[in-house]
Every structure is written in structure tokens, then in C-alpha cells.
Amino acid sequence: MPFDIHILSLKDILDILLVAFLLYKTYKLMKSSGSINIFIGILVFIVIWVIVSQVLQMRLLGSIFDKLVSVGVIALIVLFQDEIRHFLLSLGSRHRSNGLFRFLKGNKKGETQKEDIMPIVMACLNMSKGKVGALIVIEKDFPLDDIVRTGDVIDANVNQRLIENIFFKNSPLHDGAMIISHKRIKAAGCILPVSHNLDIPKELGLRHRAALGVSQETDAMAVIVSEETGGISIAYKGQFHLKLSAEELERMLTNKTE
Ligand SMILES: Nc1ncnc2c1ncn2[C@@H]1O[C@H](COP(=O)(O)OP(=O)(O)OP(=O)(O)O)[C@@H](O)[C@H]1O
């Protein structure tokens, strides 16, 4: 068979770059959801498959691997439905609202009002001083109605004293998460999906895991005040931003980090 010399065209380079980008995105997604070993396993399988069927051209083993790959795609979709949903969500939400929070919707693009986030910032700072544990989830484009249903609906203005009151240790609603949407405290005492990421530091317990979980499955931002240390952290897009100062918290909430 004559050797086919093929000069790389611009399209090929673009093709390679896109595949590299997709692989990188998949790697990051798998890492944040704690499925990195599965990702490495799949890569190893693909390499073996390519060697067996393309390089060595072993027909019998190659055809078995081909069959496995065609069934495997469906298995992967079932296995990674959450990750795929998160990936599509992050692709979609990037092109909408330019990072403005849904609870601030109603403001024009780029007009995030400081007074809208200050009650949250001030409440978190006070709860941090008093070591009152809190978990506040701010909805963006992905609707959190299913999560709201797990708690008690409040539907009140975002108000510093109300936030502190809800998380006060003996309050009936202090357990679980508060959901803020459309500039309103929608609900409290809500149950969030817990992240199964194995890389989460041991000292971070369920409150932090739940915050990371919701940030992996939706595009919401979760603010955590630690009951143990008083530290304020944010989970966003499957990543922790730990031990934030007041300025950092304010900056992240006004979404200047985007
Ligand atoms: N799935 C969940 N959804 C919402 N809230 C949760 C969930 N799991 C735990 N919590 C909240 O976290 C609290 C338990 O926090 P835990 O001490 O395990 O977490 P932590 O991350 O170590 O935080 P802290 O630093 O405040 O102790 C529970 O009382 C509850 O209010």
C-alpha cells in the first residue's frame, strides 16, 4: 500500500486543537466530580483499542473492541449523565447573562447592585464572627425548584437579619441550605446533592460537600460559613474558594471574577 503523505492543513490543526480542548474539558469535569480514575481508564482503553485495531490491525480482537466501544458509548452516557448535563449547562450558561446572578435578574447587564448582595455579605461576616454555620445557594440560570421543594418555602426579601435569624443555632430552619433566587429568599432547610469528590480535604464535612455538590450539578454559587472555624468559603463551578476575606466574598458575589 503506498504511503500517503498528508500535509497538515489549517483544518487539521483546528481539528487537533478542538479534540485537545474537549479532552481537557472532560478531564477537568471528571476531576471535579471525582471520576478521574474512570477518565484515565477510558483513555487507556482507547489507546489499546487504537493500537489493536489501527496499528496492529488484529481483526478478531479489533472487532470485539469495536463492539465494546459501540455499547460503551451508551453505558458512558448513562454513567455520566450528571457530568454531561453539567458540561452542556456550563456551555449554555456561558452565553447567557454574562455571569449575572439570576437573583439579580431585572438589572441590566453589568449593573449588579451592591445593595443586593450586601445583606448576604454582612450576614455571612456576622455569622462568621459568631461561628454560626450557614449554607446559602444563589441560583443562576439553572432552576433550583427541585431543591427548593426539599425545604420550607419562605419567599421573602433578602434581608441580613432574616438570614442570620434562619441560621441561628436554635432556629427550626437552621439545618440545610437557604436558596436565594430572583432577589428573594426562596426557601430554607433545603437538602443539596452531596459531592462524592475524593479530593475534598478531610477537615471539610458535609456542609462543604453539599455546597460543592450543588455547584457541580448546577451553575449556582454556594456560600458556606463554617461552624467550626467561622471561615467563609464559596463553591462555584465545582471548585472551592476557601477562607475568603470580606472583599473577596463581595467580589465573588458581584461576579467580578468571571
Ligand atoms: N446534603 C445537605 N444539604 C444541605 N445541608 C447539609 C447537607 N448535609 C449537611 N448539611 C448541613 O451541614 C451541617 C453539618 O455540617 P458538618 O459539620 O458535617 O459540615 P462541615 O463542612 O464540617 O461544616 P462546619 O465547618 O460548619 O462544621 C448539617 O447540620 C446541615 O445543616
Most informative mutation of 166, 207, 214 for ligand 1 (most atoms within 8 A of CB): 207
pLDDT band at 5 (very low <50, low <70, confident <90, very high): low
CA separation for the pair 231, 128 (Å, rounded): 6
Q: What is the pLDDT of residue 11?
A: 86
Q: Do residues 99 and 109 make contact, with C-beta atoms less than 8 angstroms apart? A: no
Specify whether 117 is located in the same domain as 231.
yes
CA separation for the pair 101, 147 (Å, rounded): 17
Q: Is residue 97 part of a domain?
A: no
- How many angstroms does the Cα of residue 79 sit away from the middle of ligand 1? 27
- How many angstroms does the Cα of residue 205 sit away from the middle of ligand 1? 6
3-state secondary structure of 231: coil
Q: Could you tell me the three cell numbers for 151?
A: 425545604
Q: What is the pLDDT of residue 49?
A: 87
- How many angstroms does the Cα of residue 16 sit away from the middle of ligand 1? 44
Q: What is the mean pLDDT of residues 193-217?
A: 88
pLDDT band at 26 (very low <50, low <70, confident <90, very high): confident
Q: With 90 as the cut, is the pLDDT of residue 32 above it?
A: no
CA separation for the pair 233, 158 (Å, rounded): 20
Q: What is the pLDDT of residue 77?
A: 83
Residue whose CA lies nearest to ligand 1 atom number 6: 176
| Helices 36-50/10-32 angle, 10° precision | 140
Specify whether 66 is located in the same domain as 110.
no
Ligand 1, residues at Cβ distance < 6 Å: 133, 135, 175-177, 191-192, 194, 204-208, 210, 226-228
Computed over every residue of the chain, the mean pLDDT equals 83
CA separation for the pair 215, 32 (Å, rounded): 10
Q: What is the pLDDT of residue 108?
A: 47
- How many angstroms does the Cα of residue 232 sit away from the middle of ligand 1? 14
Closest ligand 1 atom to Cα of 176: 5
For 69-106, write each residue's pLDDT tens digit. Answer: 888 888 888 877 777 776 776 666 555 544 445 454 44
Q: What is the pLDDT of residue 59?
A: 84
Q: What is the pLDDT of residue 1?
A: 47
CB atoms near residue 76 (< 10 Å): 15
Handedness of CA 214, 243, 34, 196 (dihedral sign): negative
Specify whether 182 is located in the same domain as 110.
yes
For 110-160, write each residue's pLDDT tens digit. Answer: 445 677 889 999 999 999 999 999 999 999 888 899 899 999 999 999 999
Closest ligand 1 atom to Cα of 203: 22
Q: Do residues 99 and 258 make contact, with C-beta atoms less than 8 angstroms apart? A: yes
Specify whether 68 is located in the same domain as 114.
no
Closest ligand 1 atom to Cα of 190: 4
Specify whether 75 is located in the same domain as 163.
no
Of 193, 96, 109, 83, which is closest to residue 146 (Cα–Cα)? 193
Specify whether 112 is located in the same domain as 213.
yes
CA separation for the pair 238, 86 (Å, rounded): 10
- Residue 232 is part of a domain; what is its CATH number? 3.40.1700.10
Specify whether 167 is located in the same domain as 234.
yes
Domain boundary among 44, 79, 114: 79
Q: Is residue 228 part of a domain?
A: yes
Among 45-54, 132-141, 196-205, top mean pLDDT goes to 132-141
**Residue 45 half-sphere exposure toward CB, CA atoms < 13 A:** 13
- How many angstroms does the Cα of residue 51 sit away from the middle of ligand 1? 48
Closest ligand 1 atom to Cα of 231: 25
Specify whether 245 is located in the same domain as 162.
yes
DSSP 183: T
Residue type, 156: A
Closest ligand 1 atom to Cα of 175: 31
Domain boundary among 61, 79, 97: 79
Indicate the helix (H) or strand (E) that contains 124. Answer: helix 114-129
Question: What total of structural domains would you count in the chain?
Answer: 2
Q: Is residue 145 part of a domain?
A: yes
pLDDT band at 186 (very low <50, low <70, confident <90, very high): very high
CB atoms near residue 243 (< 10 Å): 12
**Residue 78 half-sphere exposure toward CB, CA atoms < 13 A:** 5
Specify whether 154 is located in the same domain as 70.
no
Specify whether 224 is located in the same domain as 137.
yes
CA separation for the pair 108, 205 (Å, rounded): 38
Q: Is residue 126 part of a domain?
A: yes
Of 67-81, 95-109, 195-209, 238-252, give the lowest mean pLDDT range: 95-109
Specify whether 133 is located in the same domain as 66.
no
Q: Is residue 1 part of a domain?
A: no
Which domain does 209 fall in, by range?
106-256
